[in-house]
Amino acid sequence: MTNHGCGGNNACAYIKKVQKGCITVITSLLIMTIGLIPLVLAINVLKIYKGSQLGIALLLFMMLICFWQIDIGVLYLKGIIPEHIILLLFQIFRIGPTFIVPITFYIAYLVMHKHSPNLKGTRYYQIIVSLLNKNLMLLFGVWSMFVYFINWTPLGIEGLRVVNVKYSDISLYFPVYGEFHYLYLIHITIFVFLLMLIFIISRGIQNVYLKNFLGTFSFCAFLLFTTGMVNFIPGTGAIVSSIGVILFSSFIIFSFVKMNILMTINYNKLIERQKKLDYSGGLTSSLVHEVKNNLQVIKGYSKMLTRSTSLSESKNMASMIQSAAQGLEDLTNNYNVYISNKIIQFRMADLNKIIEEAIKITSEIIRENRVNVSFEKKYRSLNTYVSETFIKQVFINLIKNSSESINADVKVRNIKIDTFVMGDQIIIDFIDTGHGIPVSEWESIFDPFISSKDTGMGVGLPFVRKVIFEHRGEIKVYDSSSKGTTFRIILPQYEFSEI
């Protein structure tokens, strides 16, 4: 009787064959796609180590893993492309697992000779040095080419045979190995030895980020090797080895991202430290300049004092010397205060409250200068990590400077403090109706010991910038004209503010 449910036995067989073929193709493509993961990773590694030999070596390593996966994936194309084409592709892409050995040797060689691990004095130092040399590396390259050549002969691979994957309906080709296949197994085993060597060498590297990355790389590569060896067992399929590639890539990506973040943080710290050094250098230069000026006054009047015959002239000169000496003392005291404020303790605080306290503290200065200070609380709270003491002093300095910048004959005498949140930043504007600051001085006013006031020491705004800098923020002259000046402070927001 005809089976009308599926259009006959032949039709059912055909449908099953098509389904099986689709599953096989999907499996093959999946395996090959998984193989692309290490290659994408390698390209990103190379972006970090631009132009470095180690970055290129890691790229080649990942590329060979990709070829290794493709080498396995083509075996699943049974019934899709002819058997002899599959054998040809398998032999071509076996370049992956074959040449991964000399590339691993090259990585070990680079780590040893280019990254200066501190291994001297250890019992295995001389052994490693004697093994990792250019001659042996060349020998490994020739040996790998020989093993790869054997792969193209019946001594390495005689042909292909069909095997069924256990617990599934999937069948694939499996290589029939020749009598010299043991050379390939020996060759692959050397891979494990080289990974152990890389791990040992990496322990002596001073760069902790590279040290940890290479340690993870060695462990994950060994895990990859272990799962890859399952491919030599007929019927297991490529699932285990593909899982190994996924695990390898996942661990390496995590390690790579961690290394990248730590390197970035460390780089930013170095930049910050350099800025501090540059800033202190500029500060010291300014101090030296001012000290020299006062010393010249003291030196000049001292010489004149010895030649003076008039008592009134002598008293006047002595007074000038005393004034210059007092100036020197004030300079050094201000310098000491400015430099000594290095360590800042942060905690979560509301900037609204700090601004209000700063206005209260400066109320007498505001009254004397007949200035009106307005502050509208747009947000119920402006929360961020700050040092309340130092950030309050910043606001006090800005209110004081703004009130003093408003000339006595100006009718509109206002200081407006405006706040708003933009993305992950808190912006605070101090807007006054003072005489303004020339564009050419927008940056120089933040230099130490430079003041536009006759009685000023020029450490107020430099101190403000130093504190804001310590808070990972920025302060600048946002706008200035004859109608007034706007100082803008930008601080990072570490916690949501309440609207």
Mean pLDDT (the chain) is 76
Burial of residue 331 (number of CB atoms within 10 Å: 0-12, 13-18, 19+): buried
| Interval 21-45: pLDDT, tens | 565 666 666 677 776 777 777 676 6
Alpha carbons within 13 A on the beta-carbon side of 486: 11
- pTM here is 0.52
Cα–Cα dist 180/155, whole Å: 5
| Interval 118-150: pLDDT, tens | 666 666 777 777 788 889 999 989 999 999 999
Task: Kindly tell me if the per-residue pLDDT of 96 is higher than 80.
Answer: yes
Instruction: Tell whether 252 and 387 lie within a shared domain.
Output: no
Please state whether beta strands 484-492 and 414-422 pair in parallel, antiparallel, or not at all (unpaired).
unpaired
The number of distinct structural domains making up the chain is 2
And the tokens for 468? 């804001």
Instruction: Tell whether 139 and 50 lie within a shared domain.
Output: yes
Residue 3 maps to a domain: no
More confident residue, 349 or 450: 349
Q: Which of 2-16, 54-68, 71-85, 305-319 has the lowest mean pLDDT?
A: 2-16
Q: Output the CA torsion 421→424→430→431 (10° steps).
A: -60
Residue 148 maps to a domain: yes
Containing structural domain, residue 73: 9-269
pLDDT of residue 458: 43
Residue 484's SS3 state is strand
- The stretch 298-310 carries a mean pLDDT of 65
C-beta separation of 468 from 474 below 8 A? yes
Residue 416 maps to a domain: yes
Residue 409 maps to a domain: yes
Cα–Cα dist 19/170, whole Å: 11
* Residue 7 C-alpha from the chain's centroid: 63
Instruction: Tell whether 261 and 351 lie within a shared domain.
Output: no
Identify the domain boundary among 269, 303, 326: 269
Q: Output the CA torsion 60→65→68→69 (10° steps).
A: -140
Q: Which of 83-92, 153-162, 244-253 has the lowest mean pLDDT?
A: 244-253
Cα–Cα dist 60/188, whole Å: 17
Identify the domain boundary among 243, 269, 295: 269
Q: Could you tell me the CATH number of the domain that includes residue 386? A: 3.30.565.10
Instruction: Tell whether 203 and 82 lie within a shared domain.
Output: yes
Cα–Cα dist 109/105, whole Å: 6
Identify the domain boundary among 233, 251, 269: 269
Residue 323 maps to a domain: no
Residue 325 maps to a domain: no
Task: Kindly tell me if the per-residue pLDDT of 414 is higher than 90.
Answer: yes
| Interval 264-282: pLDDT, tens | 666 666 566 556 555 555 5
